[in-house]
Each structure stands twice: as structure tokens, then as C-alpha cells.
Amino acid sequence: MNRNKTIKTLILALILFVVIYIIIYTIFIIEGPFPIGKGIEKSDWLIFTSGYLTLIGTLIITFAVYYQNKKFKEIEFEKARYSQLPYFKLIKAEIDKEFELLEEGYLLDCPSLVNENDVLKWYGKETNGNVAVCPKNKIKFEAVYKIKNFGIGTAMKVSLKHNDNEYHYKEHLKIDDSVFFRIDIGNLKKESQSLILTFHFYDIYNNEYKQKLICDFKIEGSTFSFGISQKQFEPELIKNTKR
């Protein structure tokens, strides 16, 4: 798109220079509103034409240098961005290994997505102070997920969004760091469905990204099971800091 725009600009500039030259030539040939000297020779036109072409060449070279520098900066920006790009994968959490065990069960101190009056909302210690507790014999019935940074840079200002409901994590996620979330399947409609979540984050250059995550819930016979979509989505650049 940018290349096509640049080509169009160059073509318009060349047309403009040709039109200007024709106008100037016409003024000298036809008596117009401007007084002109007598005895205009071919040598005079040669000097004028050479100067005019020199001006055009200078402007073209200046534009080419500017365009080259701009492309170089864009390439360097992309190199820097990709050298620090976070990338996340959705993983089924191992509750017995990744959460604290209390007398009542495992303390799931992560945000929960709860169906409230057919609207999924986030609840957690940062919102209403509530956390879930999972008895040891109920682990397989808990849909707890881990979002892990497999990228090559730190993610900042991370948040997880479903529709208009967003949960803001306090943590910055370094390489191999994770955040967790839980889906309260007890309140979900017992039907096959996919919940699409969006993970928002920033890199160290303050470029903004989003990455789609999908949690699958299926009915298999009389069993309501849950899993993770096999398709992994790439981070999508929303806003960059490039000037």
C-alpha cells in the first residue's frame, strides 16, 4: 500500500514538473501578462532547461534519500520489535502442582470467569476479594488455564478480556512467566461451545498487542468436558510507537 502511494506521488510530481515547464515555455512564446525580454535564443532555453532538469534531479535524489532512510528506520523498528516480542500459549493448568494446598483444598487465587444472568464476568481477589477453593477430589472438574509467555520479550500491562468484561493482571510477564484464570463451568450452559478470550499486552517499547485464545467446551455422551482449541493465534499488533 505504501509503495503504491509512493509511486503515485512520483508520477504526479513528474506530471506537475512537465506542466510547469510547458506553462513557462508558453509564456515566453506567446505574449502574456508578463513582460518578456527580446531576443530569446536557443542557448537561453538550453540554460533554463538544464537548470530546470537539475532542480528536478536534485528533488528526486532528495526524495529517494528520504524514502530510503524511512524504509531503513521501518526495518530497524521491526527488527527491534521482533527481538522483544512476547508470545503466549494457552495451557491446561496442573492444579496439584501450581496452586497452594490448604486443608479445604487447593487455593485457586486467580480470576474466575463466572456466568451471571447469562453474562460472563470476571471475579477475583482484585475485584471482589473472592477466590475459589478446589477440593482434592474435584480437580478434574475444574477448568483452570495457564497463559504462558513463550516469546523472547517481557509483556507489560497484561489483561484478559471476554466481550466487554476485562480483567487486569498486576504482573509483568517475563519469558517463561505465567498467569492463570479459571472458568466456572458449574454456571455455564451445558452445551457445546467455544469461549473466545482476548489477551491484551504491551512490549517493552510500549507497542500494544492482542492475542486470541479459545477454550472449548463439549458434550461427549453424558459428560461435559473442556479443553483448549488446537489452533494457536499469533499476537496482533494494534498500535505501535513508530513515528
Q: How much of the chain exceeds pLDDT 90, in percent?
A: 23
Residue 1, judged by CB atoms within 10 A of its CB (0-12, 13-18, 19+), counts as: exposed
- Are 100 and 177 in a shared domain? yes
Within this chain, do residues 55 and 153 fall inside the same structural domain, yes or no? no
Asked if 178 and 147 touch (Cβ cutoff 8 Å), the reply is yes
Q: Mark whether 92 and 149 lie in a shared domain.
A: yes
Sorted by sequence, the CB contacts under 8 Å of residue 207 that are 6+ apart come out as 81, 237, 239, 240, 241
Which pLDDT score is estimated for 149?
94
CB 108 within 8 A of CB 99: yes
In this prediction, residues 18-24 reach a mean pLDDT of: 69
Share of the chain above pLDDT 70, in %: 79
Domain that holds residue 197: 88-239
62, 113: one domain: no
- Hey, is 235 helix, strand or coil? coil
135 with 233, same domain: the answer is: yes
Which of 33, 63, 83 is the C-terminal boundary of a domain? 83
213 and 142 housed in the same domain: yes
Q: Is the pLDDT of residue 78 over 80?
A: yes
The last residue of one of the domains, among 31, 61, 83, is: 83
Whole-model pTM?
0.69
- 64 or 151, higher pLDDT: 151
Per-residue pLDDT at 93 exceeds 80: yes
The mean predicted confidence, pLDDT, of the chain is 80
Rounded to whole angstroms, the Cα distance separating 111 from 42 reads 84
Cα 137 to chain centroid distance, Å, stands at 41
- In degrees rounded to 5, what are phi and psi of residue 205? -95, 5
Q: How far is the C-alpha of 211 from the C-alpha of 203, rounded, in Å?
A: 13
68 and 99 housed in the same domain: no
pLDDT of residue 3: 64
**Number of structural domains, the chain?**
2
**Residue 209 has which C-alpha cell?**
498487542
